[in-house]
Amino acid sequence: MKLWQFVSEKDGCLRWALQREEGGDFEVIRRRSSRNFEKFCKGLLKGEKGVDKLVLKKGVRELPGTVVVPTQASKIVCVGLNYHQHAEEMGKAVPEEPLLFMKPVTALLVSGGEIVLPKASKEVHYEGELAVVIGTVLKGASEEEALAGILGYSCANDVTARDIQKREMRYTRGKGYDTFCPMGPALTLASTWEVEDQRLVTRVNGEQRQSSGLGDMIHSVGKLVSFISEIMTLLPGDVILTGTPSGVGKLEHGDRVEVEIEGLGKLENTVS
């Protein structure tokens, strides 16, 4: 079951719609139900029964508006070196604890949008990743509580100005440019999808550059969410990027980059 966020062509307001199966009709959600995002997420976390109470209109063939990033985040927390093969590729030891950094929410970019290469960088890389979206307030959560508090999953691209990152030995500027966090196209509800070992594939201009099972993660999704919640309170809509597998590489002007994860769909962006 996928959740889409869109800007209504009728009144310009943010709305949500559900798609229960791939390629199926949409079910537009009541506006009053989605004004308070925390209450909205609680309804979705209740499963089918909670979802049904949110629906206003069924059988919509096309979304009545423009699709945007499927979350309302206060922060984006990212994990570095979280795949065994990527740590080997980078010549670094497997971290005993998750290595964290953050991106600003202004880096978010919808599927179909343009990744803008900054003038200050000569080497911008793609990093295909699994994105986790939080559905409830989490603070000091156990792994079990953390998994129960996940609203859903999506595809993401942790775009990185690698030369800046290497030169500064810091992550903020190299990871934080506007458009450096494409995410989408939709949010697959956690109640209908499990991480397990689904395959993540990144392609540039149709050529496969990354391919890995999610089972190669060093730290599991439950451990990551629990660990982060010990440091900072996670709020509904917050995004966690869970790390990238091996095969990262350079993007050029005019490239088309795709991140696809089994069961989550395909994130597609051009580079300008």
pLDDT in tens, 117-168: 999 999 999 999 999 999 999 999 999 999 999 999 999 999 999 999 999 9
Instruction: Residue 114: name the closest of 159, 153, 79 by CA.
Output: 159
Q: Give residue 16's domain range.
A: 2-67
Residue whose tokens read 């550059």: 209
Based on the fold, state whether residues 210 and 103 are members of the same structural domain. yes
Indicate the pTM of the whole model: 0.95
148 plus 193 within the same structural domain: yes
Domain stop point among 34, 67, 100: 67
pLDDT reported for residue 82: 95
β-sheet with 160-161: strand ranges across: 160-161, 124-126, 249-251
Residue 30 has pLDDT above 90, yes or no: no
Same domain, 53 and 85: no
Pairing of strands 181-189, 108-110: parallel
Note whether 60 and 175 are same-domain residues. no
In percent, the amount of the chain with pLDDT more than 90 equals 85
* 105 and 59 assigned to the same domain: no
CB-based burial, 205-229: b 16+ in 10 Å, e otherwise: eeeebbebebebbbbbbbbbbbbbb
Q: What is the pLDDT of residue 197?
A: 85
Same domain, 162 and 243: yes
Given a cut of 90, whether residue 234 has pLDDT beyond it is: yes
Q: Which two tokens stand for residue 138?
A: 């989490």
Q: Give yes or no: residues 217 and 130 share one domain.
A: yes
- For residue 82, which amino acid is it? N
User: Distance between CA 85 and CA 124 in Å, rounded?
Assistant: 21
Q: How many domains does the chain have?
A: 2
Does 83 lie in the same domain as 33? Answer: no
> Quick one: which H or E segment has residue 237?
none
Same domain for 47 and 145, yes or no, is: no
Average pLDDT over residues 180-208: 96
